[in-house]
């Protein structure tokens, strides 16, 4: 742990930190379990680069999820430009049917928490990528427009800046963008509060089998976009999806729309991690030719 941060935390907590253990916690921050002299534990994230807005956005996202009143999130103890101190959650077994059922139902209830328009009053981050939440006037009320402009086109612009684009990719994406309004027609719903990045690494199950959501990239959008991320890399059981459907049934044809929503995250992974995701992106795009 950074010595300067340790001094600041000890002053804040009015207690000595006697132990600091490195734990897993994402690819953009150094994550640690810290122990106070009294035996209390906290979760500490420190940035390996200077971007104070990332932790500010994470704290805001946790606060919005908490205010929904339907999901558990770690309490923010303190944040600085280069650190975020959170409540420590003692984790238990992840794959029990009982905990996955709770997670599915709570995730559905989160999506029943609605906003007035798509997006959010502030931009935030998807991993280390800037996430644009400020739609055009049309996009604030029309989900297809928001998704095209603030998700697919935004990522495509980054792909071109990073020189990962090819003529094949550009042609296929232009074709899909033209078709998205028709593909999504008939699925209109009020904007739901989304976690924004719910893969298996962004939820915890505690020792009481209760789920917790972490590392959000929140905004108000279509709940299908949130659910599609859960199936992109696995880690969610059939019990999770059954519980979700029993609480908030999906509209017919979701399986045909799901890859479009996954495309946003795959484009982001292309921008973050390079061309190993290119083939998967092309495969999805060719489904809609």
| Catalytic residue annotation | 197
Handedness of CA 154, 255, 269, 54 (dihedral sign): positive
Give how far the C-alpha of residue 136 lies from the chain's centroid of Cα atoms, to the nearest Å: 22
Report d(CA 35, CA 161) in Å as an integer. Answer: 43
Nearest to 146 by CA among 264, 58, 272: 264
SS3 at position 147: helix
Report d(CA 182, CA 184) in Å as an integer. Answer: 5
Report d(CA 273, CA 52) in Å as an integer. Answer: 22
Contact yes or no for 284/172 (Cβ under 8 A): no
What tokens does 206 get?
Answer: 């505690």
């Amino acid at each position: 742990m950074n010595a300067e941060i340790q001094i600041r935390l000890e002053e804040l907590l009015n207690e000595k930190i006697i132990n600091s253990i490195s734990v897993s916690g994402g690819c953009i921050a150094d994550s640690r379990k810290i122990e106070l002299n009294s035996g209390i534990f906290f979760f500490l994230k420190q940035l390996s680069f200077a971007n104070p807005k990332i932790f500010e956005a994470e704290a805001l996202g946790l606060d919005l999820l908490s205010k929904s009143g339907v999901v558990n999130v770690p309490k923010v103890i303190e944040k600085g430009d280069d650190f975020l101190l959170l409540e420590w959650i003692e984790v238990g077994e992840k794959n029990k049917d009982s905990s996955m059922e709770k997670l599915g139902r709570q995730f559905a209830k989160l999506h029943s928490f609605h906003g007035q328009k798509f997006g959010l009053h502030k931009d935030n981050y998807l991993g280390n990528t800037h996430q644009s939440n400020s739609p055009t006037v049309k996009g604030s009320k029309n989900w297809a427009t928001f998704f095209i402009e603030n998700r697919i086109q935004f990522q495509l612009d980054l792909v071109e800046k990073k020189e990962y684009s090819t003529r094949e990719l550009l042609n296929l994406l232009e074709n899909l963008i033209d078709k998205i309004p028709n593909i999504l027609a008939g699925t209109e719903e009020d904007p739901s509060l989304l976690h924004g990045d719910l893969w298996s690494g962004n939820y915890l199950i505690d020792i009481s089998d209760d789920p917790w959501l972490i590392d959000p990239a929140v905004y108000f959008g279509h709940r299908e976009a949130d659910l599609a991320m859960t199936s992109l890399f696995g880690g969610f059981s059939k019990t999770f999806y059954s519980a979700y459907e029993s609480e908030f049934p999906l509209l017919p044809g979701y399986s045909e729309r799901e890859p479009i929503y996954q495309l946003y995250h795959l484009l982001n992974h292309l921008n973050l991690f390079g061309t190993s995701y290119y083939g998967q992106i092309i495969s999805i795009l060719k489904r809609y030719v």
